Chain A
């Protein structure tokens, strides 16, 4: 077994052995993952002042924008990240941020599930029934896979959150496009979304979705990135000048909402940038070991890992047509090579990801 899985550099057992052609078929095209520098210190820290917050958000978003556009120049059709110019791991990046956002929203709704439980509910259920918190997680998962446009997809998201589906997406799009800058666009669109819905927790979650959509739309990102809800959990949002009486979290209906949004995006983009740096390193690792994999459909499994937060061996097996045992062995091999991690920490019902 170890011989079969050994790297291609090792000497073949006998001269009669076939050249590693099959190996090359199974392996995905080698993709260059550009290493990224951590966010400079001046873009990470600063006072709670409104102009500082807006400056920080702008600097952070500009650098994060560079990451999203810093993919391989030659796009391969079979690649997981279909958007031209985006690095391969952006699918995983978006889904992982979506998980963090859903984790916060579950707390907001006073549901007890944490990120690990949400991940289990999503990946082990296989797209069937889920819990109320899982339902909200699915909203985030769905919208990060859609183009960044404020259109009819919004009413689907609203419906999934149990809100009235007859949302006037046109009005929201107009509010978003007439704002002078992307941050204000996000703030105004989310405040408008909150006004359209009844003042409930789910309306607030919907406002977060609308804000991220408006921002991505203004920055011309291919798909939205969940950022606002990720930062809303941060305790420093309860302290700033825009926080409500008694140190509670700012709401989209507040007068100071645009300032709070700028501050929150400043925080979120630091987190997203750090995650991207980490994922770029891990993706580089996975790209480098991918040619060593000999399992059938290994290339497509690697794409699945790039595209999602977590992959179960069962999901990989059914997608690629491997046997369960072969899928488990493939993941064990990837872990042994140090390319991926086991995420659940369990002995059974395991899940793997970058």
Chain B
């Protein structure tokens, strides 16, 4: 269906002059991203514009125009999406019915559990607790699950066949990651060389770093907002 309409759409716009053509492509890309509920992939956008169009430059131009607006186009979870800027999260949260607007406020332990799952997935609750040196309760995992950032994965071959947890596409979207490959390298977080150390040690060290950052913030508010998260990355 979509291919039929794409075939009818004049992608190259060869009858327009250079500037107008670029302008039209910008509008098309923006319209597609605006109308979509999910992040719009590169391939989808490529079907709306001519082959000669450099998508990255096009999106940079769109973002340039959006400078004065409270929203921008961000590349997340394999596609582009409209996002309100992080500093407006508080404003939106003040609205009734928009409590979850912006990045959700993870507590210290939730953040710890989530980062451990992200690096060590699939991982069971027992392993998580051992890794974190702290009991990760079912409530924490339940909360993360209800936020849609983790999902039950395969069952581990251990007594009781416990569920091993994995992260979801929503997790990537929320933390502005293209894929799990884009998770920050553990040894860049922890500058002391990770050579010869057990992976679990490095993870723990990385988690301590993340935790330290979360602690600074929890002085006022346990929220870990997008900008701070950027700093952590």
- Contact surface of A with B, Cβ cutoff 8 Å: 109-113, 117, 120-122, 124-125, 128-132, 134, 162-164, 166, 196-198, 200-202, 344, 346, 348-349
In this assembly, does B164 line the interface, its C-beta being within 8 Å of a C-beta of chain A? Answer: yes
CB of A159, distance to nearest CB on chain B (Å): 12
Q: Kindly state the separation between the CA atoms of A20 and B100 in the bound complex, as whole angstroms.
A: 71
Residues of A within 8 A of B141 (CB): none
**CB neighbors of A among B185-232 (8 A):** 199
Residues of A within 8 A of B156 (CB): 120
Among B43, B121, B159, B169, point to the contact of A197 (Cβ < 8 A): B43
Known: A132-B166, A166-B2. A109 touches B157 (CB 8 A): no
Question: Can you give 8 contacting A-B residue pairs, CB < 8 Å?
Answer: A112-B121, A124-B154, A124-B161, A131-B153, A132-B166, A166-B3, A349-B157, A349-B161
**CB neighbors of A among B1-26 (8 A):** 2-3
Measured CB to CB, the nearest residue on chain B to A128 is B154
CB of A248, distance to nearest CB on chain B (Å): 14
Query: Cβ of A346 and Cβ of B179 under 8 Å apart?
Result: no
Query: Cβ of A120 and Cβ of B78 under 8 Å apart?
Result: no
Query: Cβ of B179 and Cβ of A120 under 8 Å apart?
Result: no
In this assembly, does B42 line the interface, its C-beta being within 8 Å of a C-beta of chain A? Answer: yes
Among B120, B178, B199, point to the contact of A200 (Cβ < 8 A): B178
Residues of A within 8 A of B166 (CB): 129, 131-132
Query: Cβ of B154 and Cβ of A130 under 8 Å apart?
Result: yes
Residues of A within 8 A of B120 (CB): 112
CB of B5, distance to nearest CB on chain A (Å): 12
Known: A164-B44, A166-B2, A200-B78. A110 touches B155 (CB 8 A): no
Among A110, A122, A163, point to the contact of B183 (Cβ < 8 A): A110
Query: Cβ of A124 and Cβ of B180 under 8 Å apart?
Result: no
In this assembly, does B181 line the interface, its C-beta being within 8 Å of a C-beta of chain A? Answer: yes
Q: Kindly state the separation between the CA atoms of A109 and B180 in the bound complex, as whole angstroms.
A: 7
**CB neighbors of A among B35-85 (8 A):** 41-44, 47, 78
Q: Encode contact with A along B131-172: 1 for CB under 8 Å, 0 otherwise.
A: 000000000000000000001111111110100101101000
Query: Cβ of B154 and Cβ of A200 under 8 Å apart?
Result: no
Residues of B within 8 A of A201 (CB): 179, 181
Instruction: State the main secondary structure of chain A at its contact with B.
Output: loop
Residues of A within 8 A of B102 (CB): none
Q: Kindly state the separation between the CA atoms of A142 and B145 in the bound complex, as whole angstroms.
A: 29
Q: Kindly state the separation between the CA atoms of A134 and B47 in the bound complex, as whole angstroms.
A: 31
CB of B185, distance to nearest CB on chain A (Å): 9
Measured CB to CB, the nearest residue on chain B to A346 is B157
Among B152, B157, B199, point to the contact of A129 (Cβ < 8 A): B152
Q: Kindly state the separation between the CA atoms of A259 and B164 in the bound complex, as whole angstroms.
A: 41
Known: A132-B121, A132-B166, A166-B2. A121 touches B153 (CB 8 A): yes
Residues of B within 8 A of A111 (CB): 121, 180
Query: Cβ of B155 and Cβ of A164 under 8 Å apart?
Result: no
Query: Cβ of B153 and Cβ of A129 under 8 Å apart?
Result: yes
Q: Kindly state the separation between the CA atoms of A196 and B42 in the bound complex, as whole angstroms.
A: 10
Residues of B within 8 A of A163 (CB): 41, 43
Query: Cβ of A198 and Cβ of B42 under 8 Å apart?
Result: yes
Query: Cβ of B180 and Cβ of A132 under 8 Å apart?
Result: yes
CB of B3, distance to nearest CB on chain A (Å): 6
Residues of A within 8 A of B154 (CB): 120-122, 124-125, 128-131, 134
Query: Cβ of A162 and Cβ of B169 under 8 Å apart?
Result: yes
Query: Cβ of A348 and Cβ of B153 under 8 Å apart?
Result: no
Q: Kindly state the separation between the CA atoms of A178 and B131 in the bound complex, as whole angstroms.
A: 54
Top 10 closest A-B pairs, CB basis?
A349-B157, A121-B154, A198-B42, A164-B43, A125-B154, A131-B122, A131-B153, A131-B166, A110-B181, A120-B157
Query: Cβ of B42 and Cβ of A124 under 8 Å apart?
Result: no
Q: Kindly state the separation between the CA atoms of A196 and B47 in the bound complex, as whole angstroms.
A: 11
Pick from B42, B43, B121, B180 the residue with the most CB of A within 10 Å: B43
Pick from B44, B154, B161, B164 the residue with the most CB of A within 10 Å: B154
Residues of B within 8 A of A166 (CB): 2-3, 43, 47
Measured CB to CB, the nearest residue on chain A to B185 is A110
Residues of B within 8 A of A131 (CB): 121-122, 153-154, 164, 166
Measured CB to CB, the nearest residue on chain A to B167 is A132
Measured CB to CB, the nearest residue on chain A to B55 is A198
Measured CB to CB, the nearest residue on chain B to A200 is B179
Residues of A within 8 A of B47 (CB): 166
Among A112, A121, A198, point to the contact of B78 (Cβ < 8 A): A198
Residues of B within 8 A of A198 (CB): 41-43, 78
Given A129-B166, A166-B43, 12 extra CB contacts under 8 A = A109-B179, A111-B121, A111-B180, A124-B157, A125-B155, A130-B153, A131-B153, A132-B121, A162-B78, A164-B43, A197-B43, A198-B43
Q: Kindly state the separation between the CA atoms of A131 and B178 in the bound complex, as whole angstroms.
A: 17
CB of B54, distance to nearest CB on chain A (Å): 14
Known: A131-B164, A131-B166, A164-B44. A344 touches B157 (CB 8 A): yes
Measured CB to CB, the nearest residue on chain A to B1 is A166
CB of B128, distance to nearest CB on chain A (Å): 14
Residues of B within 8 A of A109 (CB): 179-181
Residues of A within 8 A of B43 (CB): 163-164, 166, 196-198
Residues of B within 8 A of A200 (CB): 78, 178-179
Q: Kindly state the separation between the CA atoms of A201 and B183 in the bound complex, as whole angstroms.
A: 14
Query: Cβ of A202 and Cβ of B121 under 8 Å apart?
Result: no
Q: Kindly state the separation between the CA atoms of A110 and B186 in the bound complex, as whole angstroms.
A: 12
